[in-house]
Structure 1
């Protein structure tokens, strides 16, 4: 009995010693927090080597790198500095470096491994920084630069559409696009779309000046027909009259009261709040005139998406990340589009968007920068329409035909 007790004690000592040695080994390993290749990050990393030089001496190259001027970058950093500043017992990555890295990724779409090598950080660190910064941008700026317009703002948008595109009572152009992603684990065919790849859907509307006004991101790529529009928050609020649109107003120069509405292409249903073109070929002249005028107004959202992709090229390649992280990236690019456009007029110069020379369309310069634009979603909802919607479209068509450009 005494011998058995001694053996038990010895076995316990051996186990404790083994556990202690394992802990010491782990501690030894953790003393090297950064790979040897990356230990000169503070001197030779992309941020340390280029940021101050570009910022101070080459603002043009700085703007190409992050899609914004030094002043706009500083403004954005002021909004985010508190959220992005980390406190730690070991040297932490600065808030400016975190922001610069994320903007570089969004602007050019480099792989996270490429960025890890260039910035001399671990790949997981780069991925975490991008996710955190995108979340911070959305939390700090979303309510300012991408909030749903109020009634008086919808009214201003309608005035702009009539002044710029000769389409009265229009409060926006709406469209949906596929954002390609890698196949999510254990997702089956949820994200597999009819084009043959995996995607999430970006549903957005914009005003007459290419600024996004509403956005809904993350619908499964497989959703079609009754899916995307009906299940989106934006679609539900639009169709249920909860977007705080202005009351019906007179068509200019008439005593005809008409509702406010958005314009969409043939993928959208015809509703009192959504005007779409007449279907078919070889249409009567009056319907053809209406379709052309509606196309002018609807082209605004096509150009908005084009500018978005030309400036934030991460959207041009599949996003190899979890769908929830992809949503963060996409909505951050939409928000940055509005933010930079508001503070920097050179972000979207006049020749960068499509222009009209009479009936001739002059393509905007963004089309040269984007050879493969985002794919259209296809039908956004079933196209059953009430008689009132048909009557309203005919009424608007008669007004358009009687008021040529």
Structure 2
């Protein structure tokens, strides 16, 4: 059937259909040409954005910090230590330990980054807290490459150095720690000072307000035990909790070790007495009193006996505060806002604690270690937990002992009264 010159097809069911529209060949050729031109433009744009090696990165062998300053810094030990907070001998010892795992395979396409540069980038990041963008401009290494270098090197530092600088504590090592607290802090039967710090971090994804603390920022909790040499005996990183901070210590590995560790030494008599007293750790008022952990008496209604005990306990507890202060002063990434994912934050903080012990062993403490209290960190403001009756009895025993001639120390009364 025809309708005004157009052929109309009538189907068997009574419906009609028109034939497909056929464009002239000139129009078809134009559409093909436009499609091809758009495809060529996309290819050119992708070629301009994607480079095999960026010109800035290609210059790392000639103009990067490692190529231009590394040899000069090694000739100036003081400047080298200022650059990465570590002496050349300590750096060389750490490099020799990590070199097999930091050495990558060379290829015909590009040269790999040397172990020296990988370790230098990581230590510079930990000691200054600089961003990946800043390190990219300094070392002429890609930001994604720096991210992988930092995380991998921090994990290797923790795995390789922990057995030597933070070993598993034995009864002999516990007794050595107790001797240090008795001689330097005049607190017998003390095997460590325990405390925690909030380290500012970027909000973890899908965390809501879980890691939002009462200081109005997101943080990760670092729990630690320190000795009188300002070294970490044990650490626990990665506890995110803001609704009940007291539960962080209760659920930490440090608390479980204190309760169930069979390596803790047995009870020992206090000097000048015949009374058996268990070994304890000292903490602030945020923690609960248990058989192996002591905290100060409440601040209200203190008599002379309780003031003396709080003064003596603070003499022993200041070592963990100084340890945190030295850590944050030397490894400034812990004192800044860490803009990394959760897994990398844990690796970075653990590596800083291990490097803290490593540097103390090789380079010794700083001259101002005593003055480096934890003013750069943020103490955990916890609610007081319920005490244990057995812990209260142990605290009373220490409080009575400090009032005896055998347990008192010079200037004790003057320091408590505030006249010293």
TM-score by length of 2: 0.83
**Structure 1 residue 124 displacement after superposition:** 0.9
Does residue 196 (structure 1) correspond to residue 216 (structure 2)? The answer is yes
Aligned equivalent of 1:76: 94
Aligned equivalent of 1:63: 81
Cα 1:223–1:129 change in 2 (3 A) is: farther
The whole-number CA distance in structure 1 between the counterparts of 2:168 and 2:213 is 29
Aligned equivalent of 2:139: 119
The whole-number CA distance in structure 1 between the counterparts of 2:119 and 2:90 is 12
After TM superposition, list the pairs within 5 Å mapping 1:1-400 onto structure 2.
32-55=51-74, 57-89=75-107, 90-238=110-258, 240-242=259-261, 244-345=263-364, 348-349=365-366, 351-354=367-370, 364=371, 366=372, 373-379=376-382, 383-400=385-402
**Structure 1 residue 286 displacement after superposition:** 1.0
**Structure 1 residue 260 displacement after superposition:** 0.4
The whole-number CA distance in structure 1 between the counterparts of 2:64 and 2:57 is 8
**Structure 1 residue 223 displacement after superposition:** 5.0
Partners of 1:229 and 1:236 within 8 A in 2: no
With 155-164 and 27-36 compared, the bigger mean Cα shift is at 27-36
Cα 1:202–1:243 change in 2 (3 A) is: farther
Structure possessing the higher radius of gyration over alpha carbons: 2
The whole-number CA distance in structure 2 between the counterparts of 1:308 and 1:207 is 14
Cα 1:33–1:88 change in 2 (3 A) is: farther
**Structure 1 residue 29 displacement after superposition:** 7.7
Q: What SS does the aligned partner of 2:234 have?
A: strand
The whole-number CA distance in structure 2 between the counterparts of 1:374 and 1:28 is 48
**Structure 1 residue 235 displacement after superposition:** 1.1
**Structure 1 residue 401 displacement after superposition:** 1.6
With 382-391 and 148-157 compared, the bigger mean Cα shift is at 382-391
**Structure 1 residue 147 displacement after superposition:** 2.6
The whole-number CA distance in structure 1 between the counterparts of 2:106 and 2:158 is 25
The whole-number CA distance in structure 2 between the counterparts of 1:84 and 1:67 is 21
The whole-number CA distance in structure 2 between the counterparts of 1:34 and 1:243 is 56
The whole-number CA distance in structure 1 between the counterparts of 2:50 and 2:300 is 72
Q: Which runs of 5+ in 2 are unaligned?
A: 1-35, 410-420
Moved over 6 A (4+): 24-31
**Structure 1 residue 226 displacement after superposition:** 4.2
TM-score by length of 1: 0.86
The whole-number CA distance in structure 2 between the counterparts of 1:176 and 1:326 is 16
Aligned equivalent of 1:404: 408
Q: Which runs of 5+ in 1 are unaligned?
A: 1-16, 355-363
The whole-number CA distance in structure 2 between the counterparts of 1:191 and 1:388 is 33
Aligned residues: 369
Cα 1:76–1:243 change in 2 (3 A) is: farther
**Structure 1 residue 28 displacement after superposition:** 6.8
Partners of 1:155 and 1:171 within 8 A in 2: yes
The whole-number CA distance in structure 2 between the counterparts of 1:99 and 1:162 is 39
Q: What SS does the aligned partner of 1:352 have?
A: coil
Partners of 1:224 and 1:378 within 8 A in 2: no
Q: What SS does the aligned partner of 1:102 have?
A: helix
Partners of 2:177 and 2:191 within 8 A in 1: yes
CA RMSD, Structure 1 to Structure 2 (Å): 2.4
Partners of 1:264 and 1:276 within 8 A in 2: yes
